[in-house]
């Protein structure tokens, strides 16, 4: 598993515990698990939707699947939504500064 042994995993676990605390770890795990599940479902959906004759789909359909996946991940993983909101505000300020 990437060359990580038991002592390394224990150290990583202790650091995560100290940073996030006992109450946040289950939330983070649940959010990441849901995000991974949605990613797998989207990947299966894309692989089932691709035509076998070699025709390419329109990029807009792929973008819509990607945008749906991003929205689900943003809503499921704690803290990501706040970071994305701050990023959007920073981008708006940058645009205003250019004008």
pLDDT computed for residue 55 by the predictor: 52
d(CA 21, CA 24): 6
Q: What is the pLDDT of residues 19-68, one digit of tens each?
A: 888 888 888 888 888 888 888 888 888 777 665 555 555 555 556 777 77
Residues 6+ apart with CB under 8 A from 32: 77
Query: Nearest to residue 73, comparing CAs of 42, 44, 46?
Result: 42
pLDDT computed for residue 4 by the predictor: 81
pTM given for the model:
0.41
Interior/surface letters 54-75, b for 16+ CB within 10 angstroms, e for the rest: eeeeeeeeeeebeeebeebbee
């Amino acid at each position: 598993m990437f060359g990580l042994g038991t002592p390394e995993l224990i150290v990583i676990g202790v650091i995560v515990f100290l940073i996030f605390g006992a109450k946040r770890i289950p939330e983070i795990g649940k959010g990441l698990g849901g995000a991974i599940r949605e990613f797998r479902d989207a990947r299966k959906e894309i692989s089932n939707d691709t035509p076998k004759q070699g025709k390419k789909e329109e990029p807009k359909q792929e973008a819509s699947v990607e945008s749906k996946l991003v929205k689900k991940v943003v809503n499921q993983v704690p803290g990501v939504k706040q970071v994305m909101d701050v990023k959007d505000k920073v981008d708006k300020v940058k645009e205003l500064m250019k004008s």
